[in-house]
Amino acid sequence: MQAFVADNVDMMNVRKAVITAAGRAQRGLPLQTLVDRDGQTKSALQIIIQEATSAGIEEIAVVVAPGDQKLYTDSAGPEARLLQFVEQREPRGYGHAMLCAKEFVGRESFLHLVSDHLYLSRSNKRCAQQLVEMARSEQCSVSAVQATRESMLPYYGTVGGRRVQGRNDLYEVDTVVEKPTPTEAEQKLIVPGLRAGHYLCFFGVHVLTPAVMDLLSELVPAAGGKPLQLSSALAKLADREKFLAMEVAGVRHNIGVKYGLLTAQLALALDGNDREDILAQLVELMAMRKSSSELR
């Protein structure tokens, strides 16, 4: 593995972010509205943008499908001033969507967030901020991961590696597989120290060096007409330079799965200013359901 050598001392001074939102099944999700922890109604896009700005991000590129720019501008509210839009004109995969933002990224390291996940931090720093600070400290790419049960492997890219000595939350990545089967995960991706049946799956937040864009460009000819995956570039990144995975102090909520939006809303509500009111309403709903069942 080659060590990553910064071009200058500010190489990991991350000030740009890329949000991918062009996927057919994904493009409408960031436009959904929720009540955030502060009790304010916001779009999922606004919540994701605020996650990025908490980490010091100044410029954000949103990769969208053609014709979606106005919808996203309206949905971003006051945060729209931070956004630039890049169109993915053909549905050629997640990695291709990232590659569309290559000109925006330039030769800078950048924060990347997916648009169908929301995050709840378990510390006084948001999840993206934790990751950016680690990337600056280690001077390398860092992907957030979460120990995830085997049944969820079809939804996530997954990493294999070993713990960094003296750390319980940091791993040296040596393998990346996109949505592995349980058999493949058992053969290639078991990480010592994790609970049985759990694997380190991507969290949906990454801090990446510009080498990732170069690797994606190199993979385009081999992809042919097949979708280009970001995981393929990250697998090569682990061979080219130092690449870490970090279990951030927080939880991800995938709003693109069944009941995902409902689960995310409940998590935000129970973590926010209206927690007691929400708990009281949940208790009342359960009591009503019990009473209804007893009358049948």
Q: How far apart are CA 69 and CA 73, in angstroms?
A: 6
Rounded (to 5) percent helix, strand, coil in the chain: 40, 25, 35
Structure tokens at 199: 């694997």
Q: How far is CA 69 from CA 5, 16, 116, in A?
A: 37, 19, 17
> Domains along the chain?
16-295 (3.90.550.10)
Q: How far apart are CA 110 and CA 14, in angstroms?
A: 5
Amino acid 8: pLDDT: 44
Amino acid 289: pLDDT: 79
Q: How far apart are CA 109 and CA 141, in angstroms?
A: 8
Q: How far apart are CA 188 and CA 250, in angstroms?
A: 26
Amino acid 295: pLDDT: 59
Structure tokens at 223: 């992809």
Amino acid 250: pLDDT: 96
pLDDT, mean of each 10-residue run, the chain (296 residues) = 48 94 89 94 97 97 96 96 96 95 97 97 96 96 96 94 93 96 94 92 97 97 90 96 97 93 94 90 85 64
State residue 145 phi and psi, 5-degree precision: -135, 165
Q: How far apart are CA 62 and CA 173, in angstroms?
A: 27
Question: pTM of the entire structure?
Answer: 0.91
